[in-house]
């Protein structure tokens, strides 16, 4: 039987949170419970038989308690060094939600950070790069609405 070694498939969500008036508050970062410890985008592994779209909705709910709406697939990140534990490939989605996040599952806490106050020095994996790419993305949903 052929059993190739391949990277593991993951999803990450850039959750833009709106208040009740439709104003953008920022994005959600979680504080990880397990190593590597630090701040990260919420996300996780895609289950066998699951689409990446379902996986991101499930993972966002599990880690933040938020029901997200997917806006678009943002990008795929596949650098073999992006995760120190093993080679992973992440499909990153731009999402929106309303409400206050609450950390659960693999997230110790979940918090909204305004776009100008993201603590990049505390972010693990390649998530700082992902967020910087997103903030420079001219079609980002938070840039469309005033």
The predicted-structure confidence for 91-119, as pLDDT tens digits, reads as follows 999 999 999 999 999 999 999 999 999 99
- CA–CA gap between residue 97 and residue 42 (Å, rounded): 13
Ramachandran quadrant class, 49 (left: phi over 0; alpha: psi -120 to 50; beta: rest): left
Of residues 42, 87, 36, 47, the one with CA closest to residue 60: 42
122: left (phi over 0), alpha (psi -120 to 50) or beta: alpha
- To which residue do tokens 């305004």 refer? 114
Q: What is the pLDDT of residues 60-93, one digit of tens each?
A: 999 999 999 999 999 999 999 999 999 999 999 9
pLDDT at 44: 97
Question: 19 and 145 in contact (C-beta within 8 Å)?
Answer: no
Give bridge partners of residue 109 from the DSSP assignment. 31
pTM, 2 dp? 0.95
pLDDT tens for 120-139 read 999 999 999 999 999 999 99
Residue with tokens 């609405």: 145
Write out the two tokens for 51.
Answer: 């689409």
SS3 category, 108: strand
């Amino acid at each position: 039987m052929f059993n190739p070694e391949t990277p593991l498939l993951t999803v990450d969500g850039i959750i833009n949170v709106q208040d009740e008036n439709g104003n953008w508050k920022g994005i959600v970062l979680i504080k990880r419970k397990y190593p590597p410890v630090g701040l990260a985008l919420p996300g996780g592994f895609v289950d066998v038989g699951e689409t990446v779209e379902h996986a991101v909705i499930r993972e966002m709910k599990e880690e933040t308690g938020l029901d997200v709406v997917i806006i678009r697939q943002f990008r795929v990140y596949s650098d073999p060094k992006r995760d120190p534990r093993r080679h992973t490939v992440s499909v990153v989605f731009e999402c929106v939600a309303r409400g206050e996040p609450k950390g659960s599952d693999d997230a110790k806490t979940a918090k909204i950070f305004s776009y100008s106050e993201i603590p990049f020095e505390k972010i693990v994996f390649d998530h700082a790069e992902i967020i910087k790419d997103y903030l420079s993305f001219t079609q980002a949903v938070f840039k469309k609405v005033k």
